[in-house]
Structure 1
Amino acid sequence: MSGSMFDETLRALRQLEGRTQLSIPIEYDEDGYLDRECPADECLFQFKVLADDWKDKVRDEEVFCPSCGHTAESGSWMTQEQVEHVRKAALSHVSGQLGKAMARDAAQWNRRQPKGGLISMMMKVNQRPTQVLLPPAAAEPMQLKITCPVCECRYAVVGAAFFCPSCGHNAADQQFSQSVTGIIQSLDAIGAVRAAIPDRDTAENTVRLLVENGLQNAVTAFQRYAEALYVSLPTASPARRNAFQNLAEGSGLWSAATNKAYADHLSATELAALQRAFQQRHLLAHTQGIVDAGYLQKSSDTRYQPGQRIVVREDGVRETVALVSKLADALLADASAARQP
């Protein structure tokens, strides 16, 4: 309203109301990759896409999570850190605009006050400087860079990935090999991770998560690879979803289709070690690592009681990687033989 003490503030509010668009840049890493995060609550997998390819190759309508295959439109893939950065930048902009308007109102009010009277009123706005926010710090460079053989989109992950974020292509043989490489590289970096984090508790917790993720990625990489090989077999019968997460069930399906079971390729000791790893992955994925009766029965692991939490060690993950790699090579030979006329 005209002549009001708060004309400038009200005008600023009307300008901001529903019509303000802000351009808030998101920083790339030093190699030109953009941080992305799967929007599926059960996944939240973080990865990177080369910024040029995110702009030129990735479609607005559909982006694929490299880990779980979840799809969503391109605006849904900001990381939680980026979302927080945008929120703070928007609040900073709004508070800055309102602060300036209130300062102008105060100046106009002060100019209208009579001078020389017995009572003098002055208005002062304690305006803080508008905060200039830096973009969130880029995550550590991803250790495994991948180029999709179909659309040539370039992306990067830590550990295992299975789907191209641009086209969704899953090249099972390439992805398995790259996933194994990524897991080993992550384990090799444990010393550097410990050295880079000053707080000892934080460092050890980070290392624990790194090792546990390595185990889960190794089992999942084998599962996806076995699934892809299985559907290529001429006599393969339909399999339930995630059948190859179960070592015994996967071996049964494979034997029915190729006349070769997992036991034809791994010793009893190796199969027992792999069974423990598969069951530990199940606990990490579904019970946060807490041991239950099902784990004790299926793993034959006598080190734990129900209610305890499993301890996954680096050497155990390396052993699991070696075993799934050995079995994967054997399955590839089985599949090649089965396709022969």
Structure 2
Amino acid sequence: MSFRTADGANYQGRDASGHERFSVSIPYDEHGYFGRECPACQQIFRMNGEDYDALPDDLELICPYCGHRDEHSEFMTTEQRDRVMRVAQDAAMQLVTKALDKSFGSMARSTRNNRFVTVTCRSKPFYPQPLPGIDEERLVRERTCVECGVRYAVFGEHRFCPVSGALGASVVAEDALSAERIKLAALDDIPAEQRAVLREQGVFDRIAVDTLGRVVGIVEAFASSEFRRRVPTADAILKGRGNVFQRLDDTADLFAAQLDVNPRVAPDLDWEVLRRLWAARHAHVHADGRVDEKYLRAVPTTSLKVGQRIVVSSRDALSAIDLAAALCEVLGDRTI
């Protein structure tokens, strides 16, 4: 049997199991990308079509957001699935028509007894409608995995390459710090009237503090990953030391002792400013932002007194981002 198919679909014959087989094209966008949708978290990402076509058929795809692994076919987007289903529906319609033609073609066209009704069936040629198009989220920027070279695009925070898996610590840190910069820059686009309301409510102050906390967390994750990657006995050295990489001086001591990397003396890295910002973050997390004895030990040159509140400005937040990027570059072996 042959099937009529719309442009973008082709009948490929019957397989060994007796199933009819069709191929359905998934069009690329103007950049050569097409969408994938994770069956676990339902988030969309895009992959370069040329790179994707070169992948082995049996390679499992990885969701860049949640890390779910599955067969390629499980990552079809809703619009792609609708396109495939249209071909299946067209084929089913033609199979039904063929079956009806065969059945009614063998029936008598008339009877001698008028108690019976003569049934006739005249089918018309089937002309499939054009397949549904694909209009998915547009490419923002092209990313290239440093491990496998596959090009892809994401629309949110991600931790995995769709092919090679978990991203390196430097890539994660770079993305995270970039996101913090963009977040702060976006505040400038808020209309003046709304800015006044937000400022009065302390929203900008809160964002600056939250950004500082995020930056400390980014450095902590990066330093931990780098230390464990490069020091074979890391687990034994770190045992019982808690969140050591959250503490700036302890981090410096570890890298100096185990990897001969001393960030305290690195050029263009103001260690005293880093210590002040890290101490401010600790005070806001553990002391409602008020100066305590621990803050005074970390920042002995401060003019603030115990009980005073530490103000973290947007300038402080930006400085923290820049210094964190420089610190990660010193601690790692790749540029952030």
Alignment-mate amino acid for residue 26 of structure 2: I
Please give the alpha-carbon distance, in whole angstroms, between the structure 2 residues aligned to 1:49 and 1:108.
Answer: 50
Deviations 1:242-261 (A, max 9, x none): xxxx9x56415736624889
Q: Which residue of 2 aligns with 1:140?
A: 138
Please give the alpha-carbon distance, in whole angstroms, between the structure 2 residues aligned to 1:115 and 1:182.
Answer: 83
Shift of the alpha carbon at 1:157?
A: 1.4
SS at match of 2:19: coil
SS at match of 1:155: strand
Task: Report 1:1-341 matches (<5 A).
Answer: 19-39=19-39, 41=40, 43-57=41-55, 60-86=58-84, 88-101=85-98, 103-105=100-102, 108=105, 112-114=109-111, 120-123=117-120, 132-141=130-139, 143-168=140-165, 170-181=167-178, 225-232=222-229, 234=231, 237-238=234-235, 250-252=245-247, 254=251, 257-258=254-255, 264=275, 266-271=277-282, 323=320, 326-333=323-330
Identity among equivalent pairs (%):
23
Please give the alpha-carbon distance, in whole angstroms, between the structure 1 residues aligned to 2:94 and 2:72.
Answer: 30
Please give the alpha-carbon distance, in whole angstroms, between the structure 2 residues aligned to 1:269 and 1:100.
Answer: 75
Shift of the alpha carbon at 1:219?
A: 9.1
Shift of the alpha carbon at 1:19?
A: 1.0
Deviations 1:169-191 (A, max 9, x none): 6343244324544676689899x
Shift of the alpha carbon at 1:31?
A: 0.9
Q: CA RMSD in A?
A: 5.2
Tell whether the 8 Å contact from 1:69 to 1:168 is kept in structure 2 after alignment: yes
Alignment-mate amino acid for residue 32 of structure 2: G
Please give the alpha-carbon distance, in whole angstroms, between the structure 1 residues aligned to 2:91 and 2:122.
Answer: 16
Please give the alpha-carbon distance, in whole angstroms, between the structure 2 residues aligned to 1:170 and 1:23.
Answer: 34
Please give the alpha-carbon distance, in whole angstroms, between the structure 2 residues aligned to 1:317 and 1:166.
Answer: 38
- Relative to the length of structure 1, the TM-score reads 0.53
- Relative to the length of structure 2, the TM-score reads 0.54
Q: When you count helix as a share of all residues, which structure comes out higher?
A: 1
Tell whether the 8 Å contact from 2:216 to 2:246 is kept in structure 1 after alignment: no
SS at match of 1:22: strand
Unaligned runs of 5+ in 1: 1-13, 193-214, 240-245, 276-297, 302-315, 337-341
Greater radius of gyration (CA): 2
Which deviates further from its counterpart, 21-30 or 110-119? 110-119
Tell whether the 8 Å contact from 2:227 to 2:255 is kept in structure 1 after alignment: no
Which deviates further from its counterpart, 148-157 or 161-170? 161-170
Tell whether the 8 Å contact from 2:142 to 2:151 is kept in structure 1 after alignment: yes
Deviations 1:204-245 (A, max 9, x none): xxxxxxxxxxx9x98986665344333245497329xxxxxx
Tell whether the 8 Å contact from 1:144 to 1:158 is kept in structure 2 after alignment: no
Structure 1's 229 and 264: CA in aligned 2 closer, same or farther, altered over 3 A?
farther
Count of aligned residue pairs for this structure pair: 255
Please give the alpha-carbon distance, in whole angstroms, between the structure 2 residues aligned to 1:332 and 1:324.
Answer: 12
Please give the alpha-carbon distance, in whole angstroms, between the structure 2 residues aligned to 1:121 and 1:318.
Answer: 88
Please give the alpha-carbon distance, in whole angstroms, between the structure 2 residues aligned to 1:224 and 1:179.
Answer: 11
Unaligned runs of 5+ in 2: 1-13, 190-210, 237-241, 257-263, 265-270, 290-312
Tell whether the 8 Å contact from 2:38 to 2:44 is kept in structure 1 after alignment: yes
Please give the alpha-carbon distance, in whole angstroms, between the structure 2 residues aligned to 1:124 and 1:100.
Answer: 10
Please give the alpha-carbon distance, in whole angstroms, between the structure 2 residues aligned to 1:323 and 1:222.
Answer: 10
